[in-house]
A and B are shown apart, each in its own frame.
Chain A
Amino acid sequence: MLQKRLIICLDVRDGRTTKGVKFQGNVDIGDPVAMAAEYYAQGVDELVFYDITASAEKRGIMIETVKAVARTVFIPFCVGGGIRSLADMNAVMLAGADKISVNSAAVRQPDIISDGACHYGSQCIVLGMDVKSDPAMPSGYGVVIDGGRVNTGLDMLAWAREAVDRGAGEIVLNSIDADGTQNGYELRATRLLGDAVSVPVVASGGAGVPEHIPQVFQKGRAEAALVASMVHSGRYTVADIKEAMAKAGIGVRGC
């Protein structure tokens, strides 16, 4: 039986990790490769790197980061942020990423999902989906893009189903309402989506304490949970979270 996955997300700008990073110990907290090595040693199941580099001329730095991560950790990792074409995907995959995540670009140009799935297979194509509670939508949640600033008018479930039909192999559901609150994941949206699509759903946004992770597996319907600041801050380790999962009776990778 497949185990539930714990995924750590790192935001990278101009080759340096940013946002809420206060890692303790002798790890260079600005270096995404050193952080990846530390989390790999701690036993995390997977990593995600989001490139939040603003300027186009600095985008090449991310490829160097991806190459260095791929030489250092021997677990799967996904790269997202700023991927707008098959050529962007190809550069990231050749550098050694296992998966590519598309978000705003996929809403603007859904063919990028089909093209990516056709070239690399569905297991490599991850749809990142930011949602906000919206009573006007059939599911109660609408899709937003550009970091939550733009409403797309798309219903969460309608867009998710279209993305799966186009070949997305996994969906990362990020709740804008829960993100940054540290009050726990948006369980209702996670359950709705998990019940609606045939592909794995990764819950994202809102985790603050280890107990939030078993909660999203039991009350939401996720195959994986993504965390960031709760580990970057040094407050919790991978072991703390996996212990909370095991205590709740959730199958977790130990060895």
Chain B
Amino acid sequence: MIAVVDYGAGNLTSVVNALKHLGARFRISAEAAELMAANKVIIPGVGEARQAMEFLASKSLIEPLKEFAAAGKPLLGICLGCHLLMEHSEERDTALLGLIPGRVRLFPNGEAFKVPQIGWNPVRHSGAGLFKGVPQNCSFYFANSYYIPPADSENNYPWAAGISEHSVPFAAAVNQGRIWGAQFHPEKSGKDGLRLLRNFIELED
């Protein structure tokens, strides 16, 4: 059973439609006990980082989500849900769940690059885990103004599982252990997005 965290995210309906299409067993919930009882958790996400964290705090979900991840159970964050896995966001200076040691920043607003980034962007990835069977440089649908830098001045971060560019390189996907995050919307990225979700559904419990 997959628990989909219900925190008022704008894409909850779309994620649910994709899970139904794939025949997944899931439950939509904002109850800590139900999340902890699930085999896997999906944190959807369209919205704003601080509001999302305040909602999780108001439902006492922050510690349970951390425990869930620490127990090594599969967790997938989508778009804002992916940001929430990190340590900190520039979006209203917000402390996040801190499951993966990275930060979330605002895209530079340059001449040639529009912000928000809206549209399909090719992703370089390892081909492993959730990207199993997904073609290299295949495009996914993004809609975001904030991004996760995939590297510092010297090294790529080991958790940057997919990389793409929008004026700067950014982490299109993150992965550490069984924690996964997709900056894009797999539920809106056609057959390749559905493949990625199916890979998550089929991960061993």
* A interface residue numbers (CB < 8 A to B): 1-5, 40, 43, 45, 70-71, 74-76, 93-96, 98, 120-124, 169-170, 198-200, 223-224, 253-255
Contact = CB atoms under 8 A, between A and B. Distances in A.
A75 B13 contact: no
A5 B191 CA distance: 17
A200 B144 CA distance: 12
Shortest 6 CB-CB contacts between residues of A and residues of B: A123-B143, A96-B13, A253-B139, A253-B120, A200-B114, A255-B138
A122 B13 contact: no
Q: Describe A's contact surface by its main secondary structure.
A: loop
Contacts of A255: 135, 138-139, 192
A200 B119 contact: yes
Nearest to A4: B119
B189 interface: yes
B120 A71 contact: no
Interface of B: 10-11, 13-14, 17-18, 20-21, 46-48, 109, 114-122, 135, 138-139, 141-145, 165-166, 185, 187-194
Contacts of B114: 198-200, 223
Contact of A75 (B47, B141, B143, B165): B141
Contact of A3 (B46, B122, B187): B122
Contacts of A123: 46, 116, 118, 143-145
A154 B121 CA distance: 35
Given A1-B165, A124-B46, A223-B119, A70 B14 contact: yes
A124 B194 contact: no
B185 to A, nearest CB: 8
